[in-house]
Amino acid sequence: MSHSLPNKPLFITLEGGEGAGKSTAMRYLQQQLTRAGIDVLTTREPGGTVIAEQIRQILLQKQDEPLTIATELLLVFAARSQHIAEVIRPALARGQWVLCDRFTDATFAYQGGGRGVPLSIIATLEQLVQQDLQPDYTLLLDAPPSLGMKRIQRRAALDRIEAEQLAFFERVRQAYLLRAKQAPERFVVINSAKPLSEVKRQLAALVTQLSEKYL
């Protein structure tokens, strides 16, 4: 049975390192929210629009010409700017909940933690591109990078980011955990090293909580 629209459509993001299980969690969350009668739009970053998906290709494909750290950072925010204008804000304005695979926490983790870009520079771009837009909730799927790397080795070919060294992903993980510690009211940290059934149980409990609070 479908509920009437909640007073406030929620913007929920999923974060985590490579192989943390975001894709599986996204599909499961979408099913659970839909089952709860919530009109939910799923999208991803970088990507979500025609232009942003083209930028994603540049970011993830291995090229002969190496991307500078500044180019990578600016491309991420260029894609995000399109995504917010074309997809996220319109969906929220229509009363849809938005479930997004990665958002700006990923930039603080990957470009900040992983690449060493000063966080103040990322924060300046965040302000320029997002203004007042922030996720209501962020689910951080946390697993040791060594486990994540084992999981992604099964994939056919690694993209430019997945091919980074383990030390890079260790820095990414620490940056994510620090973000979660700094914003405990927004973050829900889920141990995704646990069996999938346990991860799904935690996600289902969260959907129940959100349904009771916002519907």
Q: Confidence band (pLDDT; 50, 70, 90) for 2?
A: very low
Closest C-alpha to 28, from 201, 154, 153, 174 = 201
Summary mean pLDDT of the chain: 93
**Is 79 domain-assigned?**
yes
The torsion angles phi and psi of 110, rounded to 5 degrees, stand at -80, -55
The SS3 call for residue 45 is coil
Asked if residues 111 and 100 have their Cβ atoms less than 8 Å apart, the reply is: no
Q: Confidence band (pLDDT; 50, 70, 90) for 149?
A: confident
Please give, one letter per residue, the 3-state secondary structure of 88-157: HHHHHHCCCEEEEECCHHHHHHHHHHHCCCCHHHHHHHHHHHHCCCCCCEEEEEECCHHHHHHHHCCCCC
Residue 5, pLDDT score: 45
Residue 4, pLDDT score: 37
Name the burial class of residue 94, with classes exposed (0-12), middle (13-18) and buried (19+) by CB atoms within 10 angstroms of its CB.
exposed
> Is the pLDDT at 121 greater than 70, yes or no?
yes
The residue range of the domain holding 66 is: 11-214
Q: Could you give the percent of the chain with pLDDT greater than 70?
A: 96
**Is 48 domain-assigned?**
yes
Question: Tens of pLDDT along 168-199?
Answer: 999 999 999 999 999 999 999 999 999 999 99
Question: Tens of pLDDT along 29-60?
Answer: 999 999 999 999 999 999 999 999 999 999 99
**Is 3 domain-assigned?**
no
Residue 44, pLDDT score: 98
**Is 96 domain-assigned?**
yes
**For residue 175, what is the domain's CATH number?**
3.40.50.300
**Is 157 domain-assigned?**
yes
Instruction: Please list, in sequence order, all residues whose beta carbon lies within 8 angstroms of the beta carbon of residue 39, skipping any fewer than 6 positions away.
Output: 5, 95, 96, 97
Gap between the Cα atoms of 188 and 124, Å rounded: 25
Residue 46, pLDDT score: 97
The mean per-residue pLDDT over the stretch 4-22 comes to 84
**Is 175 domain-assigned?**
yes
25: alpha, beta or left? (left if phi > 0; alpha if psi -120 to 50): alpha
